Structure 1
């Protein structure tokens, strides 16, 4: 039954994205623009609530099935915070009351500048700065994880309208906004302790970016193959030249590796060791994104950078998503520390059980 619901959700999303996402929507999203009409369509179709339990009005999908939507978001280069919000609504989990069309922003570790959380009687106080939070100005809530004064990791939710946002954009033109917390007070029920077995907000963000990049690379490969078969040089399609074939084969290998790594991390959320698998996925997919984008633009030549072509709407997001929620070095260090902690005798049993 879960697979049937997942397929129905993905089919619904595919029809919506195919109908709505294109150059007009992409250009509207430049400089932080936002399509309220498309967002309402997303919400009305129930895509935001698919990871919630059925008794909460959701579809009750498990993480591995539901996260397949993030890959589809990347494949269509949807310029809306759907991936962040359907994960964010699940993570709110009693921390805040929400409506069916809320935008939830995720502030991961690289977005937190000296954020501190202190208990003050019946309330908590947050201080520090949120840096380049995806879709901050459009959010109803911002979710973040940070240590309290006792060293315990806490998950906190902040109403975004209580913050003054310094607006900026990503390389793809999407909103990436910063705000000072200024010792803002939040209610006790808006904070809860989390343990090491629970993926952090940073890890959730890295996972959805990995899936989005895998989807965007898949579409960039399709565009590159189509262009190579249509573009002619010396009287024949450039796809007939061995050098171009080698480039496309290398790109296909990177796309396949990225998809496998992101899918494995999705499955690990419900079983296994999600933190390690997410670290591996974000590092591996980030490397693949750089290689795949380079080949795609080599195959398209100058055509791929023009406003008339769709390729750059994917590659600019790849370059942006690669850095968000931690670039490759951040996650390589995490994975390396975990491997080193196992010792020589523990490494193989750990890897074989993933």
Structure 2
């Protein structure tokens, strides 16, 4: 039922014009207001915390649906930030929120200062869930200024922020924001790949070359099967990351996130190739998903960080411990 409500909301407000505006850096206040009215920023909270009390499967379905619609606003970041705040006993966000880790910030003399790079929609956030070492800070909008504008590969704002804030809201860190961000990105990737597969199936079924639909060519059928395989892997990987995050297992998050990110790159390449030149253009909706996949693949740690984390654990486990490590993920 919740998924149907979200679907209707996004169908009403997230058309090509809205997507285009977001890619020009314009905030979508009407869409955000409806997102808040529906309670989505609290969706990952338990009922006792004021949230929906969703099961793991229901929460994953919501996150994948937001990926399937290439939601441009920081809804999933706000959901994950509010979950961190609730667990830590900090006030929830009163608007959109961001997630970040910046261990080089300085907490001295009751002030937190330093730079946080490339925060999604940083100029439009109410607050930031910011980890420094083992501490979670709830930094309000008055606690930072934008020092450098930036955009992501899907043309949305990613400014760098200069934090200069008198600390008044902090708590021990429940779990790393990078792990939370990587997990929600994995679910978004699975949703976007589902949309890309549907579009690719439709295009290859209706596009005729040499007297027959593209889909009738065996090599195209092989590529479609590979794309479907990447979707299946991303879906399973996101579930793995979500389960691992719930039990506080960063290694499981690393494994799930890394496989989802690999699927993002592979799937975007196949979908683009199957569409041909039109798949690269802004006139075709495929670019909403391929550019989102490339963006989400590289955020909240990126492939290198999570691959390094996994590789280090494998080396430390040694020959006798490697297989038990794998089976416990």
Question: What does residue 111 of structure 2 align with?
Answer: 125
Question: What does residue 145 of structure 1 align with?
Answer: 131
Question: What does residue 172 of structure 2 align with?
Answer: 193
Whether the 8 Å contact between 1:128 and 1:180 is mirrored in structure 2 is yes
Whether the 8 Å contact between 1:113 and 1:129 is mirrored in structure 2 is no
Structure 2: gaps of 5 or more residues: none
Partners of 1:311 and 1:256 in 2: CA distance = 19
Question: What does residue 169 of structure 1 align with?
Answer: 151
* 1:155 aligns with one of 136, 139, 153: 136
Residues 125-160 of structure 1: per-residue CA shift (max 9 Å, x gap)? 21220111112111101111112xxxxx11111112
Is 1:83 the equivalent of 2:79? no
Residues 81-114 of structure 1: per-residue CA shift (max 9 Å, x gap)? 1111111112112323543xx1011113xxx373
Question: What does residue 95 of structure 1 align with?
Answer: 90
3-state DSSP of counterpart to 1:157 = strand
TM-score by length of 1: 0.87
Whether the 8 Å contact between 1:261 and 1:280 is mirrored in structure 2 is yes
CA shift for structure 1 position 352: 2.6
Whether the 8 Å contact between 1:64 and 1:269 is mirrored in structure 2 is no
Whether the 8 Å contact between 2:82 and 2:92 is mirrored in structure 1 is no
Residues 40-86 of structure 1: per-residue CA shift (max 9 Å, x gap)? 11111121212223244321225553243221111110111111111
Is 1:116 the equivalent of 2:106? yes
Partners of 2:118 and 2:280 in 1: CA distance = 25
Whether the 8 Å contact between 1:104 and 1:140 is mirrored in structure 2 is yes
Partners of 2:188 and 2:261 in 1: CA distance = 11
Question: What does residue 179 of structure 1 align with?
Answer: 161
Partners of 2:243 and 2:284 in 1: CA distance = 35
Is 1:51 the equivalent of 2:44? yes
Partners of 1:275 and 1:63 in 2: CA distance = 17
Question: What does residue 263 of structure 1 align with?
Answer: 239
Q: How does 1:326-337 map to 2 (within 5 A)?
A: 326-337=301-312
* Pairwise CA RMSD: 1.8
CA shift for structure 1 position 339: 2.3
Question: What does residue 211 of structure 1 align with?
Answer: 187
Structure 1: gaps of 5 or more residues: 1-7, 148-152
Whether the 8 Å contact between 2:103 and 2:131 is mirrored in structure 1 is no
* 1:37 aligns with one of 30, 39, 44: 30
Partners of 2:223 and 2:212 in 1: CA distance = 18
Aligned pair count reads 326
Partners of 2:158 and 2:263 in 1: CA distance = 24
Partners of 2:140 and 2:20 in 1: CA distance = 29
Is 1:134 the equivalent of 2:142? no
Going from structure 1 to structure 2, the CA distance change for 1:351 and 1:234 (only over 3 Å counts) comes to same
TM-score by length of 2: 0.93
Whether the 8 Å contact between 2:192 and 2:293 is mirrored in structure 1 is yes
Is 1:292 the equivalent of 2:267? yes
* 1:71 aligns with one of 64, 76, 81: 64
